[in-house]
Every structure is written in C-alpha cells, then in structure tokens.
Amino acid sequence: MKKILSMLMAFVMILSFAACGNDEPQKENEGGDIPISTDKFKEDESKENEENEPEPSETPENEPVTLDQSYADLIENLSWGEAVCGVAYVGFVEGPFGDGYRAIIEEQKELMEWYPFVADIPAEQFVETDGYDLYCIVPTSLDCSVKVEEVSMPENTEAWEPIIGEVIYESETGEPILLKCNESDIFTNVLVTITTPDGVEKKISPYLSLMDGSLAGINEDESGLSALDFTRYEINLDDFYTFDELVGSEWMAYYYYDDETTYIMSLEFFYNDYEQKCVEFWYGLENSDIDEIFTGTVYENYDDEGEWDGGYTLDMSLTGGLFFNGESYGHICSYKFQKADEEGDEAFATHYGMESPFFMGTEYQTFYFFQAKG
C-alpha cells in the first residue's frame, strides 16, 4: 500500500514540474478580463505588428504638402462648404494639349504651392476644344459623373441662346479634369454638367469676368448647388478698400432677384464708442419699406501667413425691419471690397470663404456697390 501511495505522489510531482516548465507570461485581451497565454497569440501579434508597422517616410517633416494630400485637403474644403465642385483658372495656353502643359502649370507658383496635384492630372483627363483658357475642375465626390459639351452661338441673330453641340468628354467617376476652352472673350464655348449621386445636375460654363478678371460662370445655373472658386489670385492689397476707406459713406447696390423683383441694399461702416469696427446692413424691395436690418461687428480676415487677405467677416444680427418680430438671428457674411474706380466711390463686393453671402443663392457672386449721394 505504501508503495502504491509513493508512486502516486511521484506521478503528481512530475505533472507539477511539467506544468511549471510550460508556464508563460499571461497577456490580457482588449477588455482586460480574459488572460491569453498561447504561442499562437504571440505569433499572430508578431505578424500583425509587422504588417501595421509604418514604412519609413521619404518626405522630411517640413516638406510642402504632397500631391495626394493637397487634393484630399481641397475635397475636404469643398465638402465642408457644401460645394458640388471646385473650379480654378490655371492660365493662358496655346497649341494642342501635350506634356508642355505641365511646364505651364508648374509655372503657376501660387497654384503649385497650394494645389500641386493639378500638375499630376493624367493626360486621359485633359479635355480640349477651341480656346486659350485652361481651367481645373474638381468634383467633390468620385461618385459624381462629368460631361463636357461644346457650345456655340447662332450667327446673325439677336437671340443669345447657346447651341449645345458635341459631347467631348464623359466620365462616370468624378475625377478632376483640365479643360482648355473659350476662344472668345465675350461668351464661353463649353457646358460642363456634374451630376451628383442623387441625380441633381450642376451646370457650369467657366469664363473670366471682363470687370475684374475673376472666374465667372460657375454659379449662374438654377440648380441651387454651389461651386467653389479655388483660383489662387495675385492679390494687390492696394486694390481693396481698407475699413477706414469704407467708413463715412452709405454704400448702395441692387440685387436683381428675377425679371420682376429687384432688391436694393445698403451698407454703412462705422466705429462704435469703443472704437470697434461695426456695420449696418439693410435690404428691401425697391421703392418700398426695409425688409430686414442687421447690425454687427466687422473683422479683418487673414491668410495662413498672418497677412490681411483683403476681405472682411461681417458678424451681424437681425435688429429691425418689417420681418423683425423681436426675435433676432445671426447673419455672418464674408466679402472683399475691391475698388472699381479711381475716385474711390464704387466697389465690387465679392463673396468668398465659407461664411454666408448677403442672400442665399448668391454664393461667390459679385455685387456692384456705389456711394449714395445727397
């Protein structure tokens, strides 16, 4: 009997030593409740770490934004601004499309600093018709479809109704394109249709304004959708009104809502008792009472380098007018006031940035303001 007990105790000790020899450090799972201590876990973890380990970057930390990143940043800004697409004037070009265009694009230093992806758009996304203006069109979503049609004007007729011609480009994916067009300074010769995933069509016909050379024709359709001008303009701040130059006059403008409705609006800039920059804005139907009056504070806008960009943010609230019932609401606008004459009593007020325009549906449009006399 003693011999049997001794053998059983020896057997138990052998099992105990075997268990001790196979002891592994235990690792908790993500929830921290169940310990895991298998060799398979360690092998899988090692492989996962190798797969997830980031590859060494070849770009120094202080290098400019990469091509892909500049495109991604633009798409993010377009989405944030609820724009269907972005459009930029790239420059004046001659001759057929070719690799030489890339050199022309790369000469646009301001554009390349902000949006270097433009120079990397592949040749199959070049669209060409008669003309000398080069534009970049970037749909906000790859789920959009893009169609470009030629447009002409009838000869020997007073009716300026465009004639839609041949389809020169069509894509079911919303990839950016480079478009060469516009042989005439008077009218555009292309119609670009961007169809959203919801089936809504946004139509644009880009051209350069004869008033100030800025991009036009991108927000003149009736879709209710907006396009964002991401052209990098050469800014001469002397061309824009400073706040002190705007003070002391009432600035008036007309807004032609439709063939039968015209609004008149007014801006007055002033300093309050605390030397804060302020504004009063009102509008109403012509020869009628004022619909709404807004008052608020004016802030100068600055670029990424801390320099004034020529524009202002008007942070206003409803304070009076026919539609004011005692309940106020905010109305924040951003505009640049460009000098329209040498005398300094006319201005082009152009909406820009991500704040609202004076009226919904006039995003990125320009109003002509003049000083009220008498």
| pLDDT at residue 162 in the model | 80
Distance CA 317, CA 332 (A): 8
Work out whether strand 308-320 and strand 330-339 pair parallel, antiparallel, or are unpaired: antiparallel
Other C-beta atoms lying within 10 Å of the C-beta of residue 129: 19
pLDDT band at 172 (very low <50, low <70, confident <90, very high): very high
Distance CA 341, CA 346 (A): 6
| pLDDT at residue 89 in the model | 93
Question: 20-24, 62-66, 301-305, 331-335: lowest mean pLDDT where?
Answer: 62-66
- Mean predicted confidence (pLDDT) in 44-63: 46
Most confident of 9-13, 45-49, 117-121: 117-121
Most confident of 45-49, 143-147, 235-239: 143-147
- Mean predicted confidence (pLDDT) in 46-62: 46
Contact 119, 102 (CB under 8 A): yes
| pLDDT at residue 12 in the model | 42
| pLDDT at residue 100 in the model | 65
Mean pLDDT for the chain? 81
Q: What is the pTM of this model?
A: 0.55
Pick the closest to residue 194 from 143, 245, 133 (CA basis): 143
| pLDDT at residue 300 in the model | 97
Pick the closest to residue 368 from 209, 243, 184 (CA basis): 209
Other C-beta atoms lying within 10 Å of the C-beta of residue 62: 5
- Mean predicted confidence (pLDDT) in 260-281: 96
- 203-229 pLDDT, tens digit per residue, is 999 999 887 788 889 988 888 888 988
| pLDDT at residue 45 in the model | 45
Whether the per-residue pLDDT at 46 is higher than 50: the answer is no
- 287-321 pLDDT, tens digit per residue, is 899 999 999 999 999 987 898 999 999 999 999 99
Most confident of 60-74, 88-102, 150-164, 242-256: 242-256
Whether the per-residue pLDDT at 4 is higher than 60: the answer is no
| pLDDT at residue 158 in the model | 63
Other C-beta atoms lying within 10 Å of the C-beta of residue 253: 19
pLDDT band at 264 (very low <50, low <70, confident <90, very high): very high
- Buried b / exposed e along 2-26 (16+ C-beta atoms within 10 A): eeeeeeeeeeeeeeeeeeeeeeeee
CA 38 from chain centre, in angstroms, equals: 52
- 271-285 pLDDT, tens digit per residue, is 999 999 999 999 999
pLDDT band at 157 (very low <50, low <70, confident <90, very high): low
| pLDDT at residue 283 in the model | 97
| pLDDT at residue 135 in the model | 95
- 230, two tokens: 């991401």
- 117, two tokens: 């992806």
| pLDDT at residue 24 in the model | 44
| pLDDT at residue 65 in the model | 37
**309 class by beta-carbon count within 10 Å (0-12 exposed, 13-18 middle, 19+ buried):** middle
| pLDDT at residue 138 in the model | 96
| pLDDT at residue 28 in the model | 39
